Chains A and B, each alone.
Chain A
Amino acid sequence: MSTQTTSPARPPAVRLRALGWVRANLLATPLSAAVTLLCLWLLWQTVPGLIGWAVIDARWSGTTREACQGATGACWVFVRAWFDQFVYGFYPVDQRWRVDVAGIVFALFAAVLLWPGFPRKRVVGVVAAVAFPPACIVLLLGGWFGLPVVETRLWGGMMLTAFMAVYAGLIAVPLGILLALGRQGRLPLIRTVSVILIEFWRGVPILTVIFLASFILPLIVPAGVTVDQLARAVIALGLVIAAYMAEVVRGGLQTLPPGQAEAARALGLNYWKTTLLIVLPQALRVSIPGLVNEFIALIKNTSLVLIISLFDLLGVAHRAKSDPQWAGQGLEAYVFAGGVFWLVCFALSRYSLGLERRLGVGKR
C-alpha cells in the first residue's frame, strides 16, 4: 500500500474561452454549423437594411414634407410633426395640461403599487381604486370647477389607450372575480349563469362586441339617455376581458386546497368572510401573473376601437397616414405606434414573469 499522496491532475487549461463557447453553442455538429450559417445569412439580409432604413438613410430634422424629399429611409420628421397627436389625440392644445396632470398622478400611483414592499400599500390601493378614477374623469372631461368640457371624441392617442385600458380593467377585475366565484360556488343556478356569461363573452370576437356595443347600447337605454361612444367601448372591453380574467381567477381558486375554506367555515366564518379573508387573498396571489397577462391583452385590444372611429395610439397612426400634407408617408407612424405598444407590453410581461418567480407560482 502506498502512503504517498498523489496530487490530482490539473484540469485542462481553457485556452480560448470564447472559441470554446462558439464551438459548443454554434458549431457543435455539422447541422448546427449549417443552421448558424443560415441564421447569419438571414441576419445579413435583413438587419443592415433595417438599420439603414430606420437610422442611416432616415431624415430626422425639419418640420415639413420637403425635409424628407428624396430620402430612401424613414421620414421621422413626419412622426415628430404628429407627435402631439400621438400623445393627446385632438385634445385642445391649451387644455393638455389636464392630461399631463392625470398622467403624472396615475404614474405615481402605478409606481407605488408596483413597487414591491412599499409601505401602506393597502391605503394607497384603496385611494387609487376609489378616489382616483372619478377624479380623473372629472379632470379630463371637465364641466366642473370651471374646467371647460372636452368631448371624448377629441380624446385620442396614448392618452386614450391608457384611459381605456385602466377603466376597462377597473370593470373587468371585480366582475371577473365575481364570475369566477359564481362558477366555482355551490349554487347551481348561479353557476349556470356564470358559465353562460363567461363562455359567451369568450366565444365571440372582441371586435364584434365593441362594434355592437356602439349600436346596441343606445337602443337598450331609455329614450333620451345618451351613452357616450367612449363609454360604450370601455364597457364592451371590460365585459369581454372580465370573462377572460374570470378563467384566470378560477385557475387560482382551483389551486387552493378545499381544506382552507372548510377550516374557515369550521371556525364559524360565513361565506363572504371565508371568501374575502381566506380564499381570495390566496387565490389572487396565484392569479396575479395571469391577470397581468390579460391586462396586456386588454392594452393590445384597445386599438380595436378604431372600428367605431375612436383614435387610440394605433388609430392616430392610421389617421396620420391619410394626412394630405404628408401624402405617401405612413409606415413610420405605424412603426412608432407599434414600438410604443411593444415597449409597454414587453415591460409588463417581464414584470409578470418576475412576479411569477417571486410568488413561486407553479412550484407548489
Chain B
Amino acid sequence: MSKRTGLSRYLFDRRVLDAVTQVAVVGGLCALIWYFVSNASDQLVRGGIASGFDFLWRSSGVDVPVKLIPHANASSYANLLLVGVLNTLLVSAIGIVIATVLGFAIGIARLSRNWLLARLCGAFIEFVRNIPLLFFVLAWYFVIVNMLPPLRQSLSPGAGIFLNNRGLYIPWPDQPSRFLAVPAAFLAGAVVFWLVRRWAAARRARTGRGFPVGTVGGILMLGLPLAAALGAGAASVWDVPVRGGFNFRGGIVLIPEFVAIVVALATYTAGFIAEIVRGGILAVSKGQIEAAQALGLKHGEILRLIVVPQAMRAIVPPLTSQYLNLIKNSSFGAFIAFPETVSVFLGSTLTQTGQAIEIAAITLAIYLAISLAVSALMNWYNRFVAIPTR
C-alpha cells in the first residue's frame, strides 16, 4: 500500500474530512438562511410592511367570548395573545385530565376478560385512531350547534346543568378561587407522601417491618384533594342557571366551540393513550407475574408492586408525546373560531397587522416553550418510574 505524502496526507486525513464536511453543511445552511432573510427584508421594504414588535402594544379592536383575564376591544395585541395562550393552556389541561382518565380506563378495559367490554373498547380505539381529529372537531361542533335542542327544550341531567345549542350551562361558585385548595391539597399530599415513602423505606431497611405505602399514598394524593373539593363546594354559594325568557340567568355557559374542542381532543387522545396503556401492561412479562404468584403475593399486591411499576416504565415516555400532541392539537380550535393562540394570533392579529415574521416567531416560540416545559416535567416524573441505574 502506497503511503500518502505531502498535501494529500492532510486532504485524506479523517479529521480534516470531518471538519470540511461539517463546515460545508453548516455553512450551506447558514447561506440558505441568509438568502431567505435578505429576500424577506427586500420584500418587506418593497411592500412597505412595518417590522418590529411595536404592534404588540397597539389596541387590537378584537374581543373574544372566552377569556380568563380581562380583555376588551381596546386592549392591546399583547393582552389578546395572553388571552389566547391561557385558553390554549385551559383547553389542554382539561383535555389532558379527561383523556388520561378515559384512556387508562379504556386501555385497561380493553384487556378485560369480559369479551363484550374488551371488544367495545377495541372498537372505540380503532374508531378514533383512524379518523382525522379535524373530523371530530368539526362534527362535534356541527352536532352541538345544529342538532341539539334549542334553549326552550334544553337537555338537563339535573343539578342545574343544561345542554342546548348555545352551549353547556353549569352552576358556578361565588368565589372560584376557593377551589385553588384542590391543587394545593394535591401538592401537599404529594410532598407528605414523598416523606412517608422515604421514612417507610428507611424503617423497612432498619427493622424489616412493612408499611402500607400505597394505601396511604392513595389517601394523601386522591383523598386530600377530594376532601378539599368537597369542602370548597360546601363553603361556596352556587349560582345555579335558571331558565329565563330568552336565555339562562346565573351560572356560566361553556360555549359550543369550547365544548366541541375539549370533547374532540379528549376522546381522540384517549384512543391513543388506551393503546399505550394496553401495550404497557402487556409488556410486563408473564414470568414476572408467575414469579410473584410463586412468592405468595396476593392479587392486589401483584398489581401494585409488580405490574403497575413496570408497566408505567413503558407507558410514561409515549404518554408524554401524547400530552404534547394534545397541546399542539388544541390549535385545531382555530377551525371553529375558538379563541386559542393560533386563532387569535395567527388568525386575527396576522390579518390585521400583516407582520407575518414577527407573529410566526412569537407563535412558534410559545408552542416550543410549552412543549419543552411539559417534556421537562414528564422527564422528571419518568426518573421516578425508570429502572434505577448506577
Cβ contact within 8 Å between B116 and A307: no
Majority DSSP secondary structure for residues of B touching A: helix
Q: How far is the CA of A315 from the CA of B44 in the complex (A)?
A: 32
Distance between Cα atoms of A43 and B116 in the complex (Å): 10
Interface residues of A in 37-83 (CB under 8 A from B): 39-40, 42-43
A36 and B114: CB pair below 8 A? yes
Q: Of B95-103, B177-185, B230-238, B329-337, which binds chain A?
A: B329-337
B114 and A212: CB pair below 8 A? no
A222-B39 in contact given A207-B332, A303-B134, A349-B130 (Cβ < 8 Å): yes
Known: A189-B26, A208-B363. A334 touches B120 (CB 8 A): no
Chain A residues, Cβ within 8 Å of B131: 300, 338, 341-342, 345
Q: How would residues 327 to 366 of chain B score, 1 for a CB under 8 Å from any chain A CB and 0 otherwise?
A: 0110110110000001000100010000011001001100
Is B94 at the interface (CB under 8 A from chain A)?
A: no
Interface residue? A205 (CB, 8 A): yes
Q: Which of B22, B113, B146 is within 8 Å of A190, CB to CB?
A: B22
Asked whether A203 lies within 8 Å of B372 as measured between CB atoms, the reply is: yes
Pick from A35, A205, A221, A342: contact of B331, CB under 8 Å? A205
Give the chain A neighbours of B132 by CB distance below 8 A.
300-301, 303, 314, 338, 341
Using CB atoms, name the residue of chain B closest to A225.
B39
Contacts of B117 in A (CB 8 A): 35-36, 39
Give Cα distance in the complex from A328 to B363, angstroms: 36
Taking the complex as formed, is A346 at the interface, i.e. its CB lies under 8 A from any CB of chain B? yes
1/0 per residue A202-233: CB within 8 Å of B? Answer: 11111110011001101111110000000000
- With A338-B131, A345-B131 known as contacts, the answer to whether A203 contacts B40 (CB < 8 A) is no
A259-317 with Cβ < 8 A to chain B: 296, 300-301, 303-304, 306-307, 314, 317
Known: A207-B342, A221-B39. Is A296-B134 also a contact (CB below 8 A)?
Answer: no
Contact flag A307-B334 (CB < 8 Å), given A342-B127, A346-B126, A349-B129: yes
Question: Chain A contacts of B356 at CB under 8 A?
Answer: 212, 215-216, 219
Q: B371 on the interface (CB 8 Å rule)?
A: yes
Known: A212-B346, A216-B356. A314 touches B138 (CB 8 A): yes
- Among the listed stretches A25-33, A94-102, A148-156, which one makes contact with chain B, having 4 or more residues with CB under 8 Å of it? A25-33
The complex places the Cα of A204 from the Cα of B131 at a distance, in Å, of 21
Give CA–CA (A341, B128) in the complex, Å.
Answer: 11
Task: Report whether A338 and B116 are in contact in the complex, using a CB–CB cutoff of 8 Å.
Answer: no
Residue B42 at the chain A interface, CB threshold 8 Å: yes
A337 B135 Cβ-Cβ under 8 A = yes
Smallest beta-carbon distance B363→chain A, Å: 6
B146 and A330 within 8 A (CB): yes
Q: Do residues A26 and B127 form an inter-chain contact, with CB atoms below 8 A?
A: no
Contacts of A208 in B (CB 8 A): 331, 342, 346, 360, 363-364, 367
Determine how close the nearest CB of chain B comes to the CB of A32; give it in whole angstroms. Answer: 5
B390 on the A face (CB < 8 A):
no
A250 part of interface (Cβ distance < 8 Å): no
Within 8 Å CB of A43, what residues of B?
Answer: 120
Residue tally, chain A, CB below 8 Å to B: 57
Contact with A along B1-27 (1 / 0, CB 8 A): 000000000000000001001110110
Contacts of B335 in A (CB 8 A): 306-307
Contact indicator per residue, chain A 172-212, by CB within 8 Å of chain B (1) or not (0): 00000000000000111110010000001011111110011
Complex: chain A residue closest to B356, CB-CB:
A215
Partner of B367, one of A32, A42, A204, A218: A204
Specify the chain B residue showing the minimal Cβ separation from A192: B26
Report how far A39 CA is from B123 CA in the complex, Å. 13
Contacts A203-B371, A303-B134, A338-B131 given; does A25 touch B115 at CB 8 Å? yes
Contact A189 B22 (CB under 8 A): yes
Closest to B119 in A: A39
Q: Is A331 an interface residue (CB 8 A)?
A: yes
Residues A314 and B134 in contact, CB atoms below 8 Å apart: yes
In B122-155, the 8 Å CB interface with A consists of 126-127, 129-135, 138-139, 142-143, 146-147
| Contact of B342 (CB < 8 Å), options: A39, A205, A301 | A205
- B206 interface residue, CB < 8 Å from A? no
Are A26's CB and B142's CB within 8 A? no
In angstroms, how far is the closest chain A Cβ from the Cβ of B261?
A: 13
Q: Which of B43, B113, B139 contacts A25 (CB 8 A)?
A: B113
Partner of A204 from the list B29, B114, B129, B328 (CB cut-off 8 Å) is B328
Closest B residue to A222 by CB, please name it: B39
- Nearest B residue to A194 by beta-carbon distance? B25
Bound-state Cα–Cα, A43 to B119, Å: 12
Contact at A200–B368, with CB atoms within 8 Å?
A: yes
Which of B22, B115, B130 is close to A346, meaning CB atoms less than 8 Å apart? B130
**Distance to closest chain B CB from A43 (angstroms):** 8
Q: CA A175 – CA B43 in complex, angstroms?
A: 29
Contact A211 B342 (CB under 8 A): yes
Per the 8 Å Cβ criterion, residues 320-364 of A in contact with B are: 321, 328, 330-331, 334-335, 337-338, 341-342, 345-346, 349
For the complex with contacts A35-B117, A205-B329, A208-B367, 16 further pairs of A-B residues with Cβ separation under 8 Å are: A25-B113, A32-B114, A35-B112, A39-B114, A39-B120, A190-B26, A200-B364, A203-B372, A204-B328, A207-B331, A208-B346, A216-B40, A296-B130, A301-B132, A314-B135, A346-B130
The interface of chain A, by Cβ under 8 A from chain B, is 25-26, 28, 32, 35-36, 39-40, 42-43, 186-190, 193, 200, 202-208, 211-212, 215-216, 218-223, 296, 300-301, 303-304, 306-307, 314, 317-318, 321, 328, 330-331, 334-335, 337-338, 341-342, 345-346, 349
- The 9 A-B residue pairs with the shortest CB-CB distance in the complex, in nearest-first order: A345-B130, A220-B36, A25-B115, A205-B328, A300-B132, A189-B22, A215-B356, A203-B371, A205-B331
Q: List 27 A-B contacts (CB under 8 A).
A: A25-B116, A35-B116, A189-B25, A190-B25, A200-B368, A204-B364, A205-B342, A207-B328, A207-B332, A208-B342, A208-B363, A215-B350, A219-B43, A220-B37, A220-B39, A301-B132, A303-B132, A303-B135, A307-B334, A314-B132, A314-B134, A334-B139, A335-B139, A338-B135, A342-B127, A345-B131, A346-B126
